[in-house]
Amino acid sequence: MFSEGDAAPDFTATLQDGSSFNLQEALKDSGVILYFYPKDSTPGCTTQACDFRDAKDSLGSAGWRVIGVSRDSEASHQKFIDTQGLNFDLIVDDDTSLHELYGAWGEKTNYGKTYMGAIRSTFVISQEGTIQWAGRNVRATGHVARLLKELNLE
């Protein structure tokens, strides 16, 4: 696990439209807010995604690009984007390699059952490629408002 000030691990991944996303290339244009969530179109994940959608102007004008990451397929991501009017890209991480790289995959417990799953996490990556803020086990509701405060954008 890494923390604020550490170098963000570089990666290349596939977006919902099949195109490629490379972190280092993206950082040439803006900082990146990389957030990991469990599943498209579920209540908590929809709330969080819509909060990021609604904060796009504030984040974008401050030089941040939002990118969501889950294990869902390109088709699922595209449906989620279309249904919710999302204004940012979603990464397909069907093999969990990106989740694991960022420490967003691990053991979870729900109703007494233990299983491996996505750990809702957000990483704010500066244009210099360092972690400016890291949040693990964040709550879906209120997370974006907290992030806006952390970034002094509220």
> In this predicted model, what pLDDT tens digit does every residue of 88-132 receive, in sequence order?
999 999 999 999 999 999 999 889 999 999 999 999 999 999 999
Q: Decide which of 77 and 1 is more confident.
A: 77
Parallel/antiparallel/unpaired status of strands 64-70 and 89-92: parallel
State the pLDDT confidence band at 146, using cuts at 50, 70 and 90. very high
Mean pLDDT across 41-54: 97
Do residues 18 and 145 touch, judged by C-beta distance below 8 A?
A: no
pLDDT of residue 9: 96
- Mark out the alpha helices in the chain (DSSP H runs): 23-26, 43-54, 56-61, 74-84, 97-101, 143-150
Catalytic sites, residue numbers: 45
Mean pLDDT value across the chain: 96
pLDDT of residue 154: 78
Tokens standing for 125? 């990556």
Phi, psi of 26 (to 5 degrees): -65, -35
Rounded to whole angstroms, the Cα distance separating 43 from 120 reads 14
State the pLDDT confidence band at 37, using cuts at 50, 70 and 90. very high
Mean pLDDT across 135-140: 93
Domains (ranges, CATH) in the chain? 12-150 (3.40.30.10)
pLDDT of residue 71: 97
Rounded to whole angstroms, the Cα distance separating 60 from 12 reads 22
pTM value?
Answer: 0.95
H-run or E-run covering 54: helix 43-54
The proportion of the chain whose per-residue pLDDT surpasses 70, expressed as a percent, equals 100
